Amino acid sequence: MSNDIKISSHTGFQPLKEVWVGNVYPESFAQAVPLAQQDIFCKISEITQQDIKKLVKCLENLNIKTRLPDFGSVDLYLDYNDNLIKPPITPRDWAITLDDHLYITPQYLNQNTGFESTIEEYRSAGAKVTVLDRSCDPLAWVNFPSVVRVGKDLFVDTNPNILKKIQPILESWANTYRVHVGQTGDHSDGIFCPIASGHIFSTHYRTGYADTFPGWEIFCLNDTTIKRQQYIGHNGYHGKWWIAGMQYAHFNDFVFDTAKKWIGSACETVFEVNMLVVDEKNIICIAEDDAACRKLESLGITPHVIDFKTRGFWDGGIHCLTCDIYRIGNQLDYWPGRGLPGIYYYQ
């Protein structure tokens, strides 16, 4: 493998050196949107790109190599009905690095990922990259934002309806990892974030960590969704999306007719927990609540705040916008007395 290309990541908090950053479609793709909706398409894209540029600049100032999508023809990103599929804005949803291997579940037709040139560069250097096929590979059914890597322990949350489909993967991982399996179906990176060995930031959605993260300090974030729920409810957004300070409720027909698969449920997300840990001294985050920043500073960690203004449309924070490719460090055992590899179920 080339000396300047490495794929390796065992946690979400060891020192970061290379990362993927998602992005929205170029303005030229507006041709695939109905004429009456092209204005909102371009406006949301413009605002998003401005903040993506700030994120990339912050990462580069911290000496982290960034990779962004390379867009080709708009035809590569259309579904069978010629509607634009959600842009590759949140690579954490469909890509994960485990050990020295990058796995990708493509979101577009013909196995397209949006990162073709980067993948080819990795493979030419001898790095391990697998683009999965949902029709035959059970790993493609694993919800990657619900896999939390902590050295020799993996914490996997899944929907009970697909547990049988991913069982072969869990059993494979259990040969080398302690695999802790929950069945709430949550995106774990929207629920909690291990920011360093021994420390977790958690939302109000989860409280029981004594069995899964024994001995670790848990800092519970304030619930910042209450005011947002009131705002969204009063402005006709169907409780799904919002862009702070901008009255776009009249575009709901477009959102729910054309882009309904792009959005999540923004009124329930505590975006502060969805942070990107750079190293023991630096974290990139969104701050709707100063308490999160004060806690980080008390631990000797500098919070680098990025105001991702369209987070309420894409329903994603900084962690969702990225996928770590290379972090310095070996696979450590953070609970050496815990037991052998295997599968462990928790509530």
Amino acid at residue number 256: F
Kindly state whether residue 2 falls inside one of the protein's structural domains.
no
- 218 in Cβ contact with 202 (< 8 Å): yes
Question: Which pLDDT score, from 0 to 100, does residue 207 have?
Answer: 77
CA 117 to chain centre: 21
Identify the CATH number of the domain in which residue 132 sits: 3.75.10.10
- The pLDDT assigned to 187 comes to 82
Residue 224 pLDDT:
62
Asked whether residue 148 is assigned to any structural domain, the reply reads: yes
Query: Collapsing DSSP states into helix, strand and coil, what is residue 246?
Result: coil
Tokens of residue 57, six digits? 């600049």
Least confident of 191-195, 207-211, 216-220, 240-244: 240-244
What's the CA gap between 240 and 223, in Å, rounded? 17
Q: Are 199 and 241 a contacting pair, CB within 8 Å?
A: no
List the structure tokens of 1.
């493998």
Of residues 322 and 231, the one with the higher pLDDT is: 322
Residue 168 near residue 330 (C-beta atoms within 8 A): no
Q: Give the per-residue pLDDT at 244.
A: 64
Cα torsion for 204, 264, 57, 300, to the nearest 10°? 10
In a domain, 64, yes or no: yes
Answer whether residue 198 shows pLDDT above 90: yes
Higher-pLDDT residue of 301, 183: 301
Please give the Cα distance from 258 to 178 (Å, whole number). Answer: 42
The answer to whether residue 9 is domain-embedded is no
Residue 252, in any domain of the structure: yes
Residue 317 is assigned to a structural domain of this protein: yes
Rounded Cα gap, residues 98 and 101, in angstroms: 5
308 occurs within a structural domain: yes
Residues 6+ apart with CB under 8 A from 335: 153, 214, 215
What per-residue confidence (pLDDT) applies to 41? Answer: 83
Contacts of 294 (CB under 8 A, 6+ apart): none
Domain tally, the chain: 1
pLDDT in tens, 216-268: 999 998 776 655 555 555 444 455 566 665 555 556 666 656 666 676 666 66
With contact defined as beta carbons under 8 Å apart, do 304 and 58 qualify? yes
- Rounded Cα–Cα distance for residues 206 and 228 (Å): 20
Q: Is residue 281 over pLDDT 80?
A: yes
Comparing 333 with 226, the larger pLDDT belongs to: 333
Q: How far is CA 113 from CA 9, 119, 283, in A?
A: 21, 9, 27
- Is the Cα torsion angle 70, 74, 79, 83 positive or negative in sign? positive
Domain that holds residue 190: 16-345
Question: Tokens standing for 142?
Answer: 């694993």
Alpha-carbon radius of gyration of the chain: 20
* 129-178 pLDDT, tens digit each: 999 998 899 999 999 999 999 999 999 999 889 999 999 999 999 999 99
pLDDT at 346 over 90: no
Paired sense of beta strands 147-150 and 153-157, if any: antiparallel
* pLDDT at residue number 111: 87
Q: 112-126: per-residue pLDDT in tens?
A: 999 999 999 999 999
Q: What distances in angstroms separate CA 236 from CA 80, 265, 270, one per listed residue?
A: 30, 14, 21
| Half-sphere exposure in the Cβ direction for 305 (13 Å, CA) | 13
- With the CA atoms of 150, 156, 157 and 158 taken in that order, what torsion angle do they form, in degrees rounded to the nearest 10? 160
Q: Is the pLDDT of residue 282 over 90?
A: yes
Q: Name the helix (H) or strand (E) containing 297.
A: helix 290-298
Find the mean pLDDT for residues 188-197. 91
Between 265-274, 322-331, 338-347, the lowest mean confidence (pLDDT) is in: 265-274
- On whether the CB atoms of residues 261 and 86 are closer than 8 A, the answer is yes
pLDDT-derived band at 75, boundaries 50, 70, 90: very high
Instruction: Output the six-digit token pair for 6.
Output: 């490495």
Q: Does 93 score more than 50 pLDDT?
A: yes
Element (H, E) at 311: helix 311-314
- pLDDT range class, residue 314, cuts 50, 70, 90: confident
Q: Is the pLDDT of residue 36 over 80?
A: no
Within a domain: residue 264? yes
Rounded Cα–Cα distance for residues 65 and 20 (Å): 9
Lowest mean per-residue pLDDT among 39-43, 76-80, 198-202, 287-291: 287-291
φ/ψ region of 331 (left if φ > 0, alpha if ψ in -120 to 50, else beta) reads beta
